[in-house]
Amino acid sequence: MPVVAGAGPEWSAVFLPSTYETGVPYDLFARLRAESPVCWIPEPAIGPWRAGPGYWGVFRHADVKHVLRTPADFSSHLGATQIRDPDTPSDLAFVQDMMLNMDPPGHSRLRRIVAAAFTPRAVRALERTIAERAASLFAGHPDGGECDFVEVAADLPVWTLAHVMGVPPQDKRLLYDWASRVIGYQDADYAGLSTAGVESLTLVGRLAVASKPEFEPGRNPRSRAALADMFAYAHALAATPLDDESVMSAMRRGGLTEAEFENMFFLFAVAGNETLRNAIPGGLLTLLRHPAELDRLRANPSLLDSAVEEMLRHWPPVMDFRRTATRDLTLGGMRIRAGDKVVVYHAAANRDPSVFPDPDRFDITRTPNDHVSFGFGPHFCLGAHLARAQLRSVFKELLAWDVEPAGPPRRLTSNFQNGLKHLPVRLSRRLS
């Protein structure tokens, strides 16, 4: 472990998943940006999860962007992109075939194969359908009734993803369960979640559920064995006739290896849905906590685009990503060795006062808004246009409703996803 002058014992809180049960530690991030913008964070053992070697946390906006745009120095491939190391060398080798965990030129090759499904033109063709689906989320809701907005909001990203991937509507709940298993493994409520009604699934879906591996506490879910049911489904779906415009068809035509195909399905099934599942409720909670800005948006709906960007800055659905140093180098005045983990904190970068005046203020007219919630550089989120379209559709629809808190929100236990498990609200149709 490097010896770092001025290191405080509380810095391990940045790593601990339990820290985020009460909120993102923005006060600690602010102190680190000011005093130790690149610093060593320990990885203690937690329950069944073994201790890790520790990593360099990166908290300033400029340094975060530098790391993300420089894959020659900070690799996505060497150790993959999660803080926690894969459990075995074979697990690492498997996830290294995921586009997210590749460096150019291999990353560029895979990105080209599926990029056509996520261009602005392709998303515009989907926008009307997405808007209709967003409206349907509230169509059957009783006026003045209570609901858990996390459950309401989860339907749109899952439905959209199923549509883009060519997954039958009957099976879309499987996407929800797989994402919960992978993203929520640090949270006991999500780690073994299974909500898909077997009787309503297609035959392919039922066969996949039958091959689901037994849940093992502490096991890293990012492996072929831990997601055997998802990969069985992916191969079975690929063998059926598909819409030529679906992502699955593009993957099938693209000449992917078996591991690349499985990992590409994994990436879209999880990343394409979990981020929006957190961003939409997080955006609503942010508006509820800033009622003057919500009133401002109601009075001027043309501010919706900039409001969505400010929601993403204020509530980044992904808080951090990991890279691995490819050589000995210096970052933020700290000497980093080849092979060290380097973890960039998007949530901290998004509140950097050198980039965002009055950074803790939620301002739906903030311009410019150079947030990094979709990443930066070669791994900038491929689905950013699609995510923005879904956020706009949901919040445009919500402007027709009065929304009040109906209970305390409950946060996801995760040092990666900025998520809500429950957001009880009361919805009433506005009279004007």
pLDDT at residue number 244 = 67
Mean pLDDT, rounded, for 331-349: 97
Q: What are phi and psi of 254, to 5 degrees?
A: -85, 0
432 pLDDT tier (thresholds 50, 70, 90): low
At 384 the pLDDT is: 93
Q: Give the tens place of pLDDT for each residue, 284-334.
A: 999 999 999 999 999 999 999 999 999 999 999 999 999 999 999 999 999
Token digits of residue 182: 């992978």
The predicted model gives 35-58 an average pLDDT of 93
User: What is each CA distance from 221 to 160, 287, 320, in whole angstroms?
Assistant: 24, 33, 18
Residue 34 burial by Cβ neighbours in a 10 Å radius (0-12, 13-18, 19+): exposed
pLDDT at residue number 132? 93
pLDDT at 247: 79
Residue type, 158: V
**Percentage of the chain with pLDDT > 70?**
97
Distance CA(432)–CA(428), nearest Å, equals 12
The dihedral over CA atoms of 159, 418, 178, 114, expressed in degrees to the nearest 10, equals 60
Please check whether residue 151 is in contact with residue 139, taking contact to mean a CB–CB distance below 8 angstroms.
no
pLDDT of residue 3: 46
Surface-to-core class of residue 199, CB atoms within 10 Å of its CB (0-12 exposed, 13-18 middle, 19+ buried): exposed
Please indicate whether residue 64 or residue 5 has the higher confidence score (pLDDT). 64
Mean pLDDT for 344-349 is 98
Structure confidence at residue 6 (pLDDT): 43
pLDDT digits (tens, 9 = 90+) for 411-431: 999 999 999 999 999 999 887
Task: Place 115 in a pLDDT band, splitting at 50, 70 and 90.
Answer: confident
For residues 319 and 242, the model is more confident at: 319
For the record, the structure tokens of 209 come out as 């559920």
Specify whether the CB–CB gap between 259 and 97 falls below 8 A.
Answer: yes
- For the segment 198-217, the average pLDDT, to the nearest whole number, is 88
Give the per-residue pLDDT at 5. Answer: 43
pLDDT above 50 for 240: yes
Q: What is the pTM of this model?
A: 0.94
Residues 73-86 have a mean pLDDT of 97
Q: Which two tokens stand for residue 92?
A: 């690492």
**Which tens digit of pLDDT belongs to each residue from 358-400?**
999 999 999 999 999 999 999 999 999 999 999 999 999 999 9
Could you read off the pLDDT of 181-196 as tens digits, one per residue? 888 788 878 777 788 8
Find the angle CA(388)-CA(205)-CA(159) to the nearest 5 degrees. Answer: 20
pLDDT score recorded for residue 141: 76
**Mean pLDDT for the stretch of residues 145-155:** 92
* Res. 243: pLDDT tops 80: no
Judging by DSSP bridges, how do beta strands 52-58 and 38-43 pair with one another?
antiparallel
